[in-house]
Amino acid sequence: MPTPKVIIQLYPMLPTEDRADREKKRPIGRDKDLYHKVLHDWMDIVKAADELGVWGISTIEHHLHSEGYEVGPNPGILNAWWASNVKNARLGALGYVMAAQDPIRVAEETAILDHITKGKFFCGVARGYQSRWTNVLGQFTDSVAAVARYLGGKDDIRNREIFEERTEMLIKCWTQDSVELNGKFYKAPYPFEEGIEYPAWKSAQAAGSEGEIDAQGKVRRISVCPPPYQSPHPPVFQAVSASADSIKFAAKNGFRPTYFTKLEKMVEFCHLYVEEGQKAGHDFVLGERQNMCRWIHVADSEKEYDEKLRRYDQDIYQNFYVPFFPQFPDDTSNIDWIENIKESGIFHGGTLDQLTEQFVNSYKELPAEFITLIWHYAQEPKDEVIYELKTFMEKVVPELEAPVTNGVTVGGVG
């Protein structure tokens, strides 16, 4: 039986002693010396993960993190740098926030990354839930963040429309020699109806893509160059939290849902993915293309596990994650934070036996094809991250059985 494909995901989180120390060192996200050290130490984790046999190594797109929680403004640059130091692992991002991105630029950047990695790139897409930066960088089409606590509101609906439109445009830009992008929120050529006056139209008409230039010498279609190395395009992962509509969109397109949810919600959505896939003519088996995200720790005792949660996770969980997501508590006045983290359903840990049992039990209900492991590096030092990853790869993964798939391809992508 196959074992899960493991992805390691890091931000990074700039380290402090505790929340009080983070406030004392404000704005730590602008500490260039600390970021420089964290950035270059990160490469040691990347190399170790590659040697340990992970399927993929990824990071995020998040901007303007002055508190230093998720300092990840440009995943593509990191992927390109890592590519020269990685032999086997795939590289990618989970993922590009399409509601605040230009689809042509994402198509170009990711295609180049696919060539740099010689076809070992994977592309994650996300809607964007952090209003501080999504609303700023998305202002050219009034794109705003999709905050899970306000699912179904007008901002959520608008964000989804923009996300889906631009993600579909990304696929077109990757796969077609020339395209018209006539969306509600984005158009190319622009202006769309008039076309574009272009002094070198004769050259483009004779040597460019068919239909780019009309008989009057105007640009009527655009050709995004280069295409990806992988044909027709890299595998696509899609971040999912609370929305069934996200699952329907992913299943129709064969994207790999990446779940930041409890097991119960993930099981529900995975069954929905199979059902929606069947409607689109895709014969997925349960667990196929599903990506379970978990934060993990390995400890010698329950007491040590609690201490790791306190040192490495409580600050960001309490002060950043909780305000955004409805599955976390609203009333935080009288909370045992360590117990609350454990009960969140997204953290696994304890002794090796406890950690293994938690994953084995999860896989009895849902044998996900992928597991994404997240650590709050560099709040957790690199040596501890490497040790916990090594333990997971060597001791836990062999105990897990991923689904045997039917070899389904969607749009030519397996």
Bridge partners (DSSP) listed for residue 218:
197
∠ CA 216-219-223, rounded to 5°:
140
Q: What is the pLDDT of residue 326?
A: 65
Phi, psi of 160 (to 5 degrees): -65, -45
Q: Helix, strand or coil for residue 304?
A: helix
Instruction: Give residue 147's pLDDT.
Output: 59
How far apart are the C-alpha atoms of 125 and 93, rounded to whole Å?
8
Dihedral sign of CA atoms 39, 45, 48, 53 in order? negative
Question: Tokens at residue 325, please?
Answer: 């997501």
Q: Please state at what angle helix 103-116 crosses helix 154-175, rounded to 10 degrees.
A: 50
Count of CB atoms situated within 10 Å of the CB of 304: 15
The alpha carbons of the chain give a radius of gyration, in whole angstroms, of 22
Token pair in block for residue 236: 């696509």
What local confidence, expressed as pLDDT, does residue 150 receive? 55
Tokens 């117990």 -> residue: 339
| 352 sits in which H/E element | helix 352-365
Q: What is the dihedral of CA 257, 262, 263, 266, to 10 degrees?
A: -30
Give the separation between CA 264 and CA 407, rounded to whole angstroms: 26
Cα–Cα distance for residue pair 392/271, rounded to 1 Å? 27
Per-block mean pLDDT, blocks of 10 residues, the chain (414 long): 96 98 98 99 99 99 97 98 98 96 98 99 93 88 65 81 97 98 97 96 97 97 98 97 93 97 97 98 97 99 98 96 75 82 96 99 98 99 99 99 88 81
pLDDT at 242: 81
pLDDT at 324: 83
Helices (H) and strands (E) in the chain, counts: 15, 13
Judge whether 71 and 36 are in contact, CB under 8 Å: no
Name 97's bridge partners.
Answer: 126
* Cα→Cα distances 24→28, 92, 232, 337, Å: 9, 34, 50, 22
How far is the C-alpha of 133 from the C-alpha of 241, rounded, in Å? Answer: 19
Q: Tell me how far apart the alpha carbons of residues 384 and 77 are, in angstroms, rounded to a whole number.
A: 25
Residues of the chain with CATH 3.20.20.30: 5-174+231-399
Residue from 62, 117, 144 nearest 95 by CA:
62
* β-sheet bridge partners, residue 126: 97
Which one, of 401, 396, 394, lies nearest residue 365 by Cα? 401
Nearest to 103 by CA among 181, 28, 2: 181
Q: Quick one: CATH architecture of 5-174+231-399?
A: Alpha-Beta Barrel (3.20)
Instruction: Name the phi and psi angles at 309, rounded to 5.
Output: -60, -40
The rounded Cα 238 to chain-centroid distance in angstroms is: 7
Q: How many CB atoms lie within 10 A of CB 28?
A: 22
Look up the pTM and report it.
Answer: 0.95
